[in-house]
């Protein structure tokens, strides 16, 4: 039984306050260990430690800072197998999928190695007589990240990489459901040479989150999780004068045009709809075939593929997906399937009754497929976050486009077509932050930025890519004048460049 406290100043530290929670193993429903639910005092200890360590780190030249990241990448590669197994056992996803989770995080650390370049300022020589203007980017100081259960390696690394490369100290509050990998990541950074205190992990729930939101020494908060919490964190953090970027839930549509390659489309939908049991913010949860004939062909091909999905324990590398993260999540998703039937949608594949032989206490369900879903149903409007795909039939392209455009969420969207003109029109007019053209999960590569629109994101800068460096640094602009001028006497008119 593992007991996780906090990781502060490069060491494991016991929590105060006495609260803790079980860490489960979703594939068989057993208890793996306990994680501390930290207190305000625990958070304060981490902040003070980070605050003391940060100035020396910021003063370290950026090339030396990023050498720590290079070493970290090596250490993770050496430990990839055991990290992926730990991740799969705590989260429920399969081991190959867990490796993808880690890899997509490492890619942002790789891009963060470009910090010396990303942090360069601008310079104008001779902006006025004897006047030069230049800008520089400086770290904010102590910053924090609050992350969800569904990518316990990738999302913490999306935040830690750019924040520490830019010279900040970072406090991570990972999901209390799968804290093991984030804690190991922090240890590996210290092994890679990161000064103690530059990355502290404080485990916990709302109590620690609220302490982060109110702490005067934390200058910025990067959050990823569900929309109601994203909205709450954004309002409270910004009311307290902090920078905040808060990414929320999703309902991602895939539009299937009559000319789409149907084999490719069905493969894409199966992977994007059911991979990781649908617990991805970029999962496709709504398929929108255009025209009756397209819809009939699509549903006819999807049915046997959904029925044939292989559900298995997280340690079975041949499984398509594993269990859901918790018993409550399983009950919630099954509840949505019950609701869809009541609302009048047609359940053409029912995975609710699935049990995994030998793992009867695990949180499994099979894939579910709904046809004839309509836009007024709750199963369409709300995020289900499980292996449930809804087909909503559109008569025309315009009718299909209207669906993602009018939806509350705007994270990802895709169009499958052979028509370049339709694809261009779609990319230009769709009201969604990340668009795929014949690509079902358009998570941008690490040197672009990631972020949704509408109810999927609060704040104005995206995650990773150049935006991450803007978010975790502040700009200072210097106007300098050499060598004469001041001694000529005071000037009472505002200086201009005329
Ligand atoms: P969640 O909102 O329940 O939890 C996210 C974080 O907030 C956790 O660290 C949790 O401890 C904390 N938290 C939970 N309740 C809180 C409260 N009342 N007050 C303060 N803090 C609280 O989300 P989750 O279930 O861990 O993750 C799944 C959600 O995350 C889905 O909605 C998914 O779409 C979303 N997500 C979004 C993105 C994105 O980039 N847009 C990426 C991944 C996941």
pLDDT tens, residue by residue, 100-134: 999 999 999 999 999 999 999 999 999 988 899 99
CA dist., res. 450 & res. 93, Å (int): 22
Report whether the peptide linkage leading into residue 224 is cis, meaning its omega lies within 30 degrees of zero: no
- Per-residue pLDDT of 266-290, as tens digits, reads 999 999 999 999 999 999 999 999 9
CB-ligand 1 contact for 206 (6 Å cutoff):
yes
Mean of the pLDDT values across residues 19-38? 97
Among 32-41, 244-253, 448-457, 483-492, where is mean pLDDT lowest? 483-492
- Is domain 2-248+456-478 classified as CATH 2.60.40.740? no
Give the nearest ligand 1 atom to 281 CA: 34
Which atom of ligand 1 is closest in space to residue 176's alpha carbon? 11
**Band (454; pLDDT cuts 50, 70, 90):** very high
Task: Compute the distance between CA of residue 476 and CA of residue 484 in angstroms, rounded to an integer.
Answer: 24
For the chain, how far is it from start to end, CA to CA, in angstroms? 72
Q: What does the pLDDT read at residue 484? A: 65
Please tell me the distance between residue 155's alpha carbon and the centre of ligand 1 in angstroms.
Answer: 11
Q: Judge if 2-248+456-478 and 252-437 fold alike in CATH terms.
A: no
Report strand pairing: 453-454 vs 409-410: antiparallel
pLDDT reading at 485 higher than 60: no
Q: What average pLDDT does range 248-265 have in this prediction?
A: 98
- Catalytic one of 229, 281, 286, 290: 281
- How many angstroms separate the CA atoms of 361 and 324, rounded? 12
Q: What is the mean pLDDT of the chain?
A: 96
Q: What per-residue confidence (pLDDT) applies to 2?
A: 85
Residue 248 has pLDDT above 70, yes or no: yes
226 ligand 1 Cβ < 6 A: yes
Position 310 pLDDT exceeds 90: yes
pLDDT of residue 17: 87
Do 69 and 165 contact (CB within 8 A), yes or no? Answer: yes
- Name the band, by pLDDT with cuts 50, 70 and 90, for residue 87: very high
> Is 90 exceeded by the pLDDT of residue 5?
yes
Tell me what pLDDT residue 130 has. 87
Find out whether the beta carbon of 190 lies less than 6 Å from any atom of ligand 1: no
User: What local confidence, expressed as pLDDT, does residue 306 receive?
Assistant: 98
CATH 3.30.1490.190 fits 252-437, yes or no: no
Task: Return d(Cα 280, Cα 98) in angstroms, integer.
Answer: 12
Which of these, 181, 172, 226, 177, lies nearest to 201 by C-alpha position?
172
Q: What percent of the chain has pLDDT over 90?
A: 95
Asked if residue 409 has its Cβ within 6 Å of ligand 1, the reply is: no
Give me the phi and psi of 438, to 5 degrees please: 55, 25
What does the pLDDT average to over 47-52? 98
Q: Whose CA is nearest to atom 38 of ligand 1?
A: 281
The rounded Å distance from CA 153 to ligand 1 centre is: 14
- Determine if ligand 1 sits within 6 Å of the CB of residue 149: yes
CA gyration radius for the chain?
A: 25
Per-residue confidence band for 487, with pLDDT thresholds at 50, 70 and 90? low
What pLDDT does 494 receive? 85
CA 22/CA 383 separation, integer angstroms: 26
pLDDT tier, 396 (very low <50, low <70, confident <90, very high otherwise): very high
Q: What ligand 1 atom has the least distance to the C-alpha of 147?
A: 9
Q: Is 221 in the pocket of ligand 1 (CB under 6 A)?
A: no
275 burial level (CB within 10 Å; 0-12, 13-18, 19+):
buried
pLDDT over 60 at 486, yes or no? no
- Average of per-residue pLDDT across 405-410: 98
Q: What is the pLDDT of residue 488?
A: 66
pLDDT digits (tens, 9 = 90+) for 228-245: 999 999 999 999 999 999
Residue 174 alpha carbon, nearest atom of ligand 1: 9
Is 101 a pocket residue for ligand 1 (Cβ < 6 Å)? Answer: no
390 falls in which pLDDT band (50, 70, 90)?
A: very high
Contact 483, 133 (CB under 8 A): no
Residue in 148, 232, 324, 382 to alter for ligand 1 test, most ligand atoms within 8 A of Cβ: 148
Q: Is 91 in contact with 180 (CB distance < 8 Å)?
A: no
pLDDT of residue 182: 98
Kindly state the average pLDDT of the residues 413-428. Answer: 98
246 is an active site residue: no
Does position 498 have pLDDT exceeding 80, yes or no? no
Q: Is the CB of 150 under 6 A from ligand 1?
A: yes
Cβ-based neighbours of 455, under 8 Å, separated by 6 or more: 227, 248, 249, 408, 409, 410
Which band of pLDDT confidence, cut at 50, 70 and 90, is reported for residue 482?
confident
Atom of ligand 1 lying closest to residue 151 CA = 43
pLDDT in tens, 355-378: 999 999 999 999 999 999 999 999
For the chain, give every domain's residue range: 2-248+456-478, 252-437
Closest residue to atom 35 of ligand 1, CA basis: 225
Query: Residue 364 and residue 326: Cα distance in Å, rounded?
Result: 10
Q: What is the 3-state secondary structure (H, E, C) of 210-267?
A: HHHHHCCCEEEEEEECCHHHHHHHHHHHHHCCCEEEEECCCCEEEEECCCCCHHHHHH
CA of 423 to the centre of ligand 1 (A): 32
In this structure, the number of other CB atoms found within 10 A of the CB of residue 334 comes to 18
Q: For ligand 1, is residue 459 a contact (CB within 6 Å)?
A: no
């Amino acid at each position: 039984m593992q007991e996780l406290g906090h990781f502060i100043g490069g060491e494991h530290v016991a929590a105060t306050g006495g609260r803790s929670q079980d860490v489960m193993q979703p594939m068989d429903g057993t208890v793996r260990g306990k994680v501390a639910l930290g207190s305000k005092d625990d958070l304060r200890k981490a902040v003070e430690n980070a605050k003391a360590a940060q100035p020396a780190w910021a003063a370290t030249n950026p090339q030396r800072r990023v050498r720590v990241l290079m070493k970290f990448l090596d250490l993770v590669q050496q430990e990839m197998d055991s990290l992926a197994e730990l991740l799969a056992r705590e989260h429920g996803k399969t081991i190959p999928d867990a490796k993808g989770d880690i890899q997509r995080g490492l890619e942002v650390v790789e891009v963060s190695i470009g910090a010396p370049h990303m942090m360069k300022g601008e310079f104008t020589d001779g902006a006025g007589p004897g006047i030069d203007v230049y800008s520089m980017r400086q770290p904010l100081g102590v910053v924090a990240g609050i992350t969800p259960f569904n990518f316990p390696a990738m999302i913490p690394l999306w935040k830690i990489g750019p924040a520490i490369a830019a010279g900040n100290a970072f406090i991570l509050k990972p999901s209390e459901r799968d804290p093991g990998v984030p804690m190991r990541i922090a240890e590996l950074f210290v092994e890679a040479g990161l000064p103690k205190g530059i990355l502290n992990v404080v485990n916990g729930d709302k109590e620690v989150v609220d302490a982060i939101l109110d702490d005067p020494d934390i200058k910025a908060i990067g959050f990823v999780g569900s929309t109601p919490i994203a909205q709450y964190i954004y309002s409270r953090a910004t009311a307290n004068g902090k920078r905040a970027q808060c990414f929320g839930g999703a309902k991602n549509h895939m539009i299937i045009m009559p000319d789409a390659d149907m084999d490719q489309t069905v493969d894409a939908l199966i992977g994007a709809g059911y991979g990781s049991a649908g617990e991805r913010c970029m999962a496709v949860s709504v398929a929108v075939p255009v025209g009756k004939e397209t819809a009939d062909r699509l549903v006819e091909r999807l049915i046997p593929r959904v029925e044939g999905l292989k559900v298995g324990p997280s340690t079975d590398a041949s499984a398509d997906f594993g269990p859901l993260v918790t018993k409550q999540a399983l009950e919630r998703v099954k509840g949505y399937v019950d609701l869809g039937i009541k609302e009048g949608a047609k359940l053409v594949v029912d995975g609710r009754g699935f049990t995994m032989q030998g793992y009867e206490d695990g949180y499994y369900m099979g894939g579910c497929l709904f046809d004839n879903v309509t836009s007024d149903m709750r199963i369409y409007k709300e995020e289900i976050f499980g292996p449930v795909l809804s087909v909503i039939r559109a008569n025309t392209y315009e009718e299909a486009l209207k669906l993602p455009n009018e939806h509350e969420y705007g994270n990802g969207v895709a169009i499958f077509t052979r028509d370049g003109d339709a694809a261009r029109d779609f990319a230009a007019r769709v009201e969604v932050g990340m668009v795929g053209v014949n690509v079902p999960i358009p998570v941008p590569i690490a040197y672009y930025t990631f972020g949704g629109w509408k109810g999927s994101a609060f704040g104005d800068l995206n995650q990773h890519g150049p935006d991450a460096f803007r978010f975790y640094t502040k700009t200072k602009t210097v106007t300098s004048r050499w060598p004469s001028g001041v001694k000529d006497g005071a000037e009472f008119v505002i200086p201009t460049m005329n």
